[in-house]
Amino acid sequence: MYTISNKLKTFSIALIILGLLGVGYGFMTSHKSFEEVETMLAEETAHHGGGHAVATEAHVVADDSDHSDNSHQANAHDATTDVEHHVDDHAKHVEHVQHQIANRPWSALYVAAFFFFMIALGVLAFYAIQYASQAGWSPVLFRVMEGITAYVLPGGLIVLAIAVASGTIGHYNIFIWMDPDVVAHDKLLQGKSGWLSLGWFAVRGLIFIAGWSLYRHFSRKFSIANDTATDNSNFKKAFRISAAFLVFFIYTESIMSWDWIMSVDPHWFSTLFAWYVFAGMAVSGITVIAFISLYLKSRGHLEIVNDSHIHDLAKFMFGFSIFWAYLWFSQFMLIWYANIPEEVTYFITRIEDYNGLFFGMLVLNFVFPFLVLMNSDYKRIPWFVVMAGIIILIGHYIDVYVMIMPATVGDRWSFGIPEISSVMLFAGLFLFIVFTALTKAPLVVKRNPFLKESEHFHY
């Protein structure tokens, strides 16, 4: 039986505590007054050499109108009206920026929460695929996958809680469609209100999490029971529920990606989006399977995991990176070529305000793994796989970041304490839950029908 080391336990708890402190600091410093934001914008304008302040403009126009004669009273009245509109627009702009700044800690927390949750959910789908396809190479890795999927239930509930809280405790900080004032003035959102309503959103989320968690519970139960069974009945049960779960997963993952990610931009949609999210989810999950397997092997566990198993995990990392890039290009190219305003605005925002991240993640998620993992021999070298995996995970965190942040904070984004502390918080929680789950059962299944094939697997 595996026992979590004191160092790892202390490290994970330290990450959680430091993360909580940083997240708290991010929330405390995110509420700026109207005057503070106005001053900040004035400094930015001065720094970039932009014009005069609104007050100065109003004063100049007022002076001009005072010196005009009676024959120009009508023009002066128009000028005064223009100034009033200008001042009103300025106030709205300041309030908009004020809201964006307040959105940042919520969004940073949500991005990190979803990123670690999608790793666990991606592993759960991969695990079900192994059972349903009766794969012969992977049974020696099943307990690692089961440990990672222990995070699905708490991770999913946390993501849903942040989303709901942002529209109740917060001030509609992530999902603009949760604001009834916005919906009241938006015909498109009124048309979607039957689906995009806070109560129905929460109910759908709970249904998804319940289905995923029930599959994880019963598949794990059958897996452990099969260790001491005298026949393969538990394996057959796991096979049947895995096949059924994959049908459930295809539907619920699609809807989840629309609800939890795509609806931050409620005017935009893509029919490829669910597949795009799944590709990132799968490659991130498989990467973490490789990481934990290599870590346990380095600590003297999982001795029967050989270079060929690591090679196959790296092969899946390579394959899903290409699949992700294919979907990225297809979604981008089709929408950009069609040039329909309500669709292309999604990419315009990201190219204008997130240019480095938007195209940089293409390098991290496709170009780098494609070049590094193409060679079959390199897939067998642990440190090489770890290096490639770190780049892949960073790239897919940025992918989630770029999917969320433009809709919530606009061009007011940066990487600082809110983002770093949120990653620390959920990284610590993920490590603690996953490695605690690994202590609950032997690290290798006992009598899976394909165990011998898996033990002697060679590519």
Reported as a single tens digit per residue, the pLDDT across 129-153 is: 999 999 999 999 999 999 999 999 9
254, two tokens: 């699609």
Residue 69 — pLDDT band, cuts 50, 70, 90?
very low
Rounded to an integer, the average pLDDT of 384-388 is 94
- Count of structural domains within the chain: 1
Nearest C-alpha neighbor of 113 from the set 400, 338, 370:
400
Nearest C-alpha neighbor of 391 from the set 360, 364, 356, 373:
364
Question: pLDDT at position 77, please?
Answer: 52
Residue 393: Cβ within 10 Å count? 19
Q: Does pLDDT of 418 surpass 90?
A: yes
Length of the chain as a residue count? 459
> Under a CB-based contact definition with an 8 Å cutoff, are residues 160 and 202 in contact?
yes
Give dist(CA 90, CA 32) in Å, integer.
Answer: 16
Q: At 353, phi and psi to the nearest 5?
A: -100, -20
Question: pLDDT at position 408, please?
Answer: 93
Q: At 196, phi and psi to the nearest 5?
A: -90, 75
Question: pLDDT at position 64, please?
Answer: 44
Rounded to an integer, the average pLDDT of 46-65 is 47
Question: pLDDT at position 385, please?
Answer: 94
Give dist(CA 323, CA 286) in Å, integer.
Answer: 14
Residue 256 — pLDDT band, cuts 50, 70, 90?
very high
Burial 30-42 (b: 16+ CB within 10 A, else e): bebeeeebbeebb
Give dist(CA 238, CA 215) in Å, integer.
Answer: 9
| Range from 25-39, 372-386, 428-442 carrying the lowest mean pLDDT | 25-39
Burial 112-130 (b: 16+ CB within 10 A, else e): bbbbbbbbbbbbbbbbbbb
Q: Does pLDDT of 66 surpass 60?
A: no
Cα torsion angle, 216, 221, 224, 229, sign: negative
159-184 per-position pLDDT tens digit: 999 999 998 887 888 999 999 989 99
Question: pLDDT at position 75, please?
Answer: 54
Question: pLDDT at position 84, please?
Answer: 56
Give dist(CA 421, CA 410) in Å, integer.
Answer: 21
Give dist(CA 26, CA 173) in Å, integer.
Answer: 14
Domain assignment present for residue 132? The answer is yes
Write the DSSP symbol of residue 378.
G
For residue 218, the number of C-alpha atoms closer than 13 Å in the C-beta half-sphere is: 18
Give dist(CA 202, CA 208) in Å, integer.
Answer: 10
Nearest C-alpha neighbor of 76 from the set 65, 67, 66:
65
Domain assignment present for residue 109? The answer is yes
- Cα torsion through 430, 433, 435, 441, rounded to 10: -140
Question: pLDDT at position 109, please?
Answer: 97
List, in sequence order, the alpha helices (H) in 264-381.
273-298, 307-338, 341-353, 355-362, 368-372
Q: At 321, phi and psi to the nearest 5?
A: -65, -40
Residue 319 — pLDDT band, cuts 50, 70, 90?
very high
Q: What is the mean pLDDT of the chain?
A: 89
Express the helix, strand and coil content of the chain in percent, nearest 5 each: 80, 0, 20
Write the DSSP symbol of residue 72.
G
Give dist(CA 131, CA 249) in Å, integer.
Answer: 14
Query: To which residue do tokens 């959103």 refer?
Result: 201
Domain that holds residue 27: 6-37+103-455
Question: pLDDT at position 82, please?
Answer: 55
Residue 60 — pLDDT band, cuts 50, 70, 90?
very low
Rounded to an integer, the average pLDDT of 198-204 is 95
72-126 per-position pLDDT tens digit: 454 555 555 555 555 677 777 777 788 888 899 999 999 999 999 999 999 999 9
Residue 68 — pLDDT band, cuts 50, 70, 90?
very low
Residue 337: partners with Cβ closer than 8 Å, 6 or more residues away: none
No. of helices (H) and no. of strands (E), the chain = 18, 0
Question: pLDDT at position 45, please?
Answer: 76
Domain assignment present for residue 145? The answer is yes
Domain assignment present for residue 76? The answer is no
Residue 30 — pLDDT band, cuts 50, 70, 90?
confident
Report the largest interatomic distance among the alpha carbons of the chain, rounded to a whole angstrom: 104
Question: pLDDT at position 301, please?
Answer: 93
Give dist(CA 331, CA 324) in Å, integer.
Answer: 11
Residue 437: partners with Cβ closer than 8 Å, 6 or more residues away: 146, 147, 150
Domain assignment present for residue 181? The answer is yes
Question: pLDDT at position 97, please?
Answer: 84
Domain assignment present for residue 230? The answer is yes
Q: If phi over 0 gives left and psi between -120 and 50 gives alpha, with beta otherwise, what is residue 5?
A: beta
Query: To which residue do tokens 């012969």 refer?
Result: 136
Cα torsion angle, 400, 275, 162, 164, sign: positive
Question: pLDDT at position 57, please?
Answer: 41
Burial 176-203 (b: 16+ CB within 10 A, else e): bbbeeeebeebeebeebeeebebeebbe
